[in-house]
Amino acid sequence: MLFGLFILAAFTTEHTIPENDVALGKALFFDPILSADRTVSCASCHKPEHGFADILPFSYGVDSTLTTRNTPSVKNVLFRSRFFWDGRASSLEQQALMPITNPDEMNLPLDQALERLRQSETYSKAFLNIYKRPVDTASLAAAIAAYERTLESTFTPFDLWMEGQEDAVSESAKRGKAIFIDKANCFECHFGPDFTQDEMLNIGIYDGKKYSDPGLAGVTNDRADLGKFKVPSLRNIAQTAPYMHNGMFKTLREVIEYYNNPEKVIPHPVNVSDRLKKPLNLSAQEKEDLLAFLMSLSDKEVANK
């Protein structure tokens, strides 16, 4: 996969001048030019074939450095207002720049990133043509964000069912939708077109000991925010395993088992939301139906972007 990215990067840098901001952002997204050792691109961790997420609990940055959280998908971010698990970015433009400078990810100071792009004949021409000025921090962020805004999915079996195609999903998935909304109460957190409204919640994966990532509290320094993480979108959830901010669950079945009785997995959580304090007591069939519904939220166009 990485070798393929090098080929794409070389072709883009030497031969093709992107004609608009989306094409430019896509070229940058797949080009390792923005990492310190020129080995890591955005797509190294946000893999198109895996819903623009990663298949590992933690991704590898430059020098094979492991990230500290699971890579979230950058698909279906057009209407989002918070980014990263701890919600530290409030716009796609902010989000686009942070991995470049992060020591665990691309580890390249922005001034060096900009200079590399200015030295590239292809990129320097592209930024001048599109933004009418040499590349700067704002235009670099704008280009990557412009591409990410195109990564929307709307043709899932669920969407087709909502449009009237009754055979688009199974009867099990239809029952699962009712469980999702009512008995399991997933809809209280996962609602809206993308099944999230960017709420920050502690779902019980924080005990201050084994599970000690502070989440939002690391940004706000407020103890009331300990263990709070951004509620992720459920679109393409079948393609973005492993799950949770720490990648602790390999399958959706494990996720469902966790929510069915969280304290069975993490006995003494700290600051957990009231919504997660009672077991769901789902039957085996209800779990299968809920799984079928979640599987219906994934499309087949992910790898074509």
Cα(218)–Cα(241) distance, integer angstroms: 25
pLDDT of amino acid 288:
98
- Same domain, yes or no: 285 and 223: yes
The secondary structure element, H or E, covering residue 293 is helix 284-295
pTM: 0.90
Say which CATH number the domain at 268 has.
1.10.760.10
pLDDT, tens digit, for every residue of 167-225? Answer: 999 999 999 999 999 999 999 999 999 999 999 999 999 999 999 999 999 999 999 99
The secondary structure element, H or E, covering residue 262 is helix 262-265
pLDDT of amino acid 109:
98
Boundary of a domain, candidates 115, 130, 148 = 148
Cα(251)–Cα(25) distance, integer angstroms: 32
Boundary of a domain, candidates 83, 113, 148 = 148
Tell me the residue range of the domain where 183 lies: 157-304
- Same domain, yes or no: 116 and 184: no
- Same domain, yes or no: 240 and 291: yes
Closest C-alpha to 100, from 133, 69, 144? 144
What 119-125 contacts at long range (C-beta under 8 Å, 24+ apart), as own/partner pairs, is 120/13, 120/33, 122/12, 122/13, 122/14, 122/15, 122/16, 122/17, 123/13, 123/24, 123/27, 123/28, 123/33, 125/17
- Same domain, yes or no: 223 and 134: no
**Residue ranges of the alpha helices (H) in 35-170?**
42-45, 92-101, 110-119, 121-131, 137-148, 157-162
pLDDT of amino acid 304:
43
The ranges of the chain with pLDDT < 50 are 1-13, 303-305
Dihedral of CA 266/267/272/274: which sign? Answer: positive
- Same domain, yes or no: 123 and 172: no
Boundary of a domain, candidates 117, 148, 179 = 148
